Structure formats: C-alpha cells, structure tokens
Amino acid sequence: IINVSSLDRPKVLLMGLRRSGKSSICKVVFHNMQPLDTLYIESTSKPVEEEFNSLIDFSVQELPGQLNFFEPDQYIDSDRLFQNVGALVYVIDSQDEYLNALSNLHNIIEYAFKINPDINVEVLIHKVDGLSEDFRLDTQRDIMQRVSDELVDARLDDGDVKLNFHLTSIFDHSIYEAFSRIIQKLIPELPVFENLLNVLCSHSLFEKVFLFDVNSKIYVATDSSPVDNQTYEVCTDFIDVAVDLDNLYENGSDSKSSENTLKCVSKLQNGVTLHLHQMVKGLALVGLIRKENGQKMALVDYNVQVFREGLERIWGINKK
C-alpha cells in the first residue's frame, strides 16, 4: 500500500502512459538532470513517491502508466490515492498517437473526480519540442476538444472538473513554467506572497521579482506584472551561477551557520542588474533592476530583509 503518511502535504500525482515522459520530468525538474541524459533512464515500473520541502511541503508521486486503477490491486488503494491529491498531472506524449492516452485520462478523471471533486487536473501535452509551432496549437486544440467532449458525454462538464492544459518539453523552460503554475495553486498563502512582492517592487527599484524554489527552479510566487519568458530564463540561469559560485567556496566557510545567507548581484551588459537573496525554506528572491541608483541600493537590501522577516513570521520561524 502506498504510504499516505503525509496527509497534510499537498500532493502532486504524476500519471500517464508508459514512455510519456514522467520519469524524465521528475529527474529534470526535481533532480537537475540534463534533458539529454533522460534518454537512458528506465521507464517507471512501480509507484515511486518523493517529497520536497520548500515553500509548501509537497510530494510528487509518480505512477507507472500501465497500472490499472480500476481493478483491486495489491499495491494501490485507489480511493485513498486520490483523496489527498492537490493536483493530478497527466502526461500525454504529443509526438505519439494519443487516443489511448486520452481514454486513459478520461477514465482517471471520472474516477478521481468522484472521490475528490476539488482535484486540479493538469494535462501536460508533452514533448512538443518535436512539433512545429502551428502543429502545437492544432494538437492542443484537438486534445482539449476531445477531452471536453468526453466530459460532456459523461456529464462532467469542464465547469465542474478543474482542468488545465500546458504545452511542455524538458528541452526548454516550458516544463518549469507549467510546474510553477501547478504548484502555485496549492499554496494557500499565495495571495499574501504576491501582495508582499508587489509592495517590495513598488518600494524598491525592482522591475520584476520572483520567489524561487532554488532546487527545482520553480517559481512559487511573483509580483503581478506579467512574466516574460526571457526574464524568467535569465533569472533561473542566475540561480545556477550563484549556487555554483557558492558551492565553490562552501568548504572554506561555516555554511551551516543560519546567519550565512547567500546574496549575489550581477550587472549584465545591457545595464540590467540581477539580485539574488537567499530566503528561508530553500527559497530565493530573484529580482531584476533596470535603472540602478547607487544611493538606493541600501534601501533595496533593507527592504529585502524586511521581506525575509515577513516570510519568517508567516511560517512562525524563530531565527534563534
């Protein structure tokens, strides 16, 4: 029986047919594996559960595609499985014939919805790197239409089932973007964070700020200005550089000290300055400043510190 000890953690369940890309997604997003290296990983053949402790303590449970949920099974208690799930992520290989996947998805939605009507169903139309721009949109339209027709037939119209579609690939940032949106829905404090980040932007020089989970590079919150892909990519690359630099000098310093919070600032050729400040719970604040003003930099640091203290208070973390 799958361990459901972590009842209060929002759980993300990753499902899909064999070879749809579930293990690869887990490895790339949560274990920093290079996308090309996923060519050689073994397909999932038994249920795996992994936990991640960051802003929310969420766990990702990956299930092998060939399992049949609708027959009594010695390994899986399907009812309990769906009860505690915040998001059901279903991966469809868009480069392959997907009709089988759609009927499997439909069965799962019907089953899961009966047990947990609040479940968020997130469909990843995956491996879109192999499709042309036009074909991606056609595929998305076709899949959305078919899923919605089936739901209407089953009298589960889209309005009842919370259903979202994402075009993804592990070879670009789309998979992180999709997971960011999926995870954000599971964070009860999200409006508070967004508000705090808006206040931070308006009182500092930041043009855009993200609160990132450093390990997965999923952003768990951002201010309310629109997210543009390039900015997001620059910020994630900056996290990599900052973490690498930090690791380089880690041995020499007392890295376990709680006072030791990483801060990294870098000025790009186009005049934009990137700021990274380590927060609590494996998070980092990454912000972008276009017009630097030397005098105001102390203010930025001060405001970031106030923001960090705000986070600590929200979680009742006592620094001492």
- Which stretches of the chain bind ligand GDP, using CB under 6 A? 16, 18-24, 38-39, 41, 43-44, 65, 126-127, 129-130, 169-171
> CA 295, 301, 307: angle at the middle one, nearest 5?
140
- Report the residue number, 23 or 222, with the smaller CB distance to ligand GDP: 23
How far is it, in rounded angstroms, from Cα 197 to Cα 203? 10
Nearest residue (CB) to ligand GDP, 38 versus 266 = 38
Report the Cα 191 to chain-centroid distance in Å: 17
Q: Which is nearer to ligand GDP, 24 or 54 (CB)?
A: 24
Euclidean distance between CA atoms 62 and 56, whole angstroms:
18
Q: What distances in angstroms separate CA 230 from CA 33, 122, 143, 182, one per listed residue? A: 22, 24, 28, 20
**What is residue 305's DSSP assignment?**
H
Nearer to ligand GDP, 2 or 115 (CB): 2
Cβ 275 to ligand GDP shortest distance, Å: 31
What are the φ and ψ backbone dihedral angles of 7, each rounded to 5 degrees? Answer: -60, -35
Compare residues 182 and 200 and give the one whose CB is closer to ligand GDP. Answer: 182
Cα–Cα–Cα angle for 132, 137, 143, rounded to 5 degrees: 120
Q: CB neighbours of 312 closer than 8 A, spacing ≥ 6? A: 280, 318, 319
Q: Give the residue with the Cβ less far from ligand GDP, 130 or 271.
A: 130
Residue 316 has which token pair?
């009742």
Minimum separation from the CB atom of position 25 to ligand GDP (A): 7
| Cβ distance to ligand GDP smaller for residue 143 or 197 | 143
Residues 6+ apart with CB under 8 A from 238: 264, 266, 274, 276, 286
Q: Tell me the backbone φ, ψ of residue 319, rounded to 5 degrees.
A: -60, -35
